Amino acid sequence: MTARLRIPPAPAAAPGGAGRMCPFDYRYRPALFGRRHEFEAEALYIIGGLYGNAAALDQIEGMAAAERAPVTVVFNGDFHWFDADAAWFAEIERRVTPWRALRGNVETEIARTGDIGAGCGCAYPDSVSDDTVNRSNDILAALRSVARAQAGAAERLAALPMHRVARVGALRIGIVHGDAWSLAGWRFAHDLLDDP
């Protein structure tokens, strides 16, 4: 018998409205990346933000098939987004499931068993417009309805880890969706990384 993992409602959340708050259950310590690697790869593709794009997935699968070395593909979350249609969602689920995956804020909020007011779970900073935040919350609501109608989808997404550690040759690689502190962290955003 396989145990089912459920993502319970967070006990509380950081300040901010739906789409801007960062739930406390998104947080983790950077020190956890010091753990032993979970898998080794000769060639590692980390796919960020597929967002339900089946055409991009075609290209990823083609590139992986063309590699000389065996390829390990890891989707680092938010592989669902614009696929708020039953057949489209099912296709993305079917095609991503054979690979390794993390859950991003999208998958986490699809799978959450209660509404804590996180909306899309994006934890958008103030620099993102309210229109974008509201649109993202609407997309997540539609996507959640589609996912809940598909047997086992929410449970499968809930069981995905928030982070992984891989080894490629002599390199240890921490794989995250957001940053080293949070599932929806923005500290690795290009504008922050470029700031001396």
Looking at residue 37, its amino acid is: H
Q: Which of 56, 182, 53 is CA-nearest to residue 123?
A: 182
| Residue 4 pLDDT > 90 | no
Confidence at residue 195, expressed as pLDDT on a 0 to 100 scale: 64
Contacts of 76 (CB under 8 A, 6+ apart): 46, 47, 48, 49, 101, 102, 104, 175, 176, 177
Q: What is the pLDDT of residues 51-110, one digit of tens each?
A: 999 999 999 999 999 999 999 999 999 999 999 999 999 999 999 999 999 999 999 999
CATH architecture, range 31-189: 4-Layer Sandwich (3.60)
Confidence at residue 2, expressed as pLDDT on a 0 to 100 scale: 44
CB-CB neighbours of 61 under 10 Å:
14
The percentage of the chain sitting over the pLDDT mark of 90, rounded to a whole number, equals 80
Question: For the whole model, what pTM was predicted?
Answer: 0.87
Confidence at residue 146, expressed as pLDDT on a 0 to 100 scale: 96
Confidence at residue 15, expressed as pLDDT on a 0 to 100 scale: 57
Give the integer Cα–Cα distance in Å for 126 and 192: 14
Is 26:108 a contact under the CB 8 Å cutoff?
A: yes
Cα dihedral 48, 76, 84, 123 sign: negative
Q: What is the pLDDT of residues 129-158, one digit of tens each?
A: 999 999 999 999 999 999 999 999 999 999
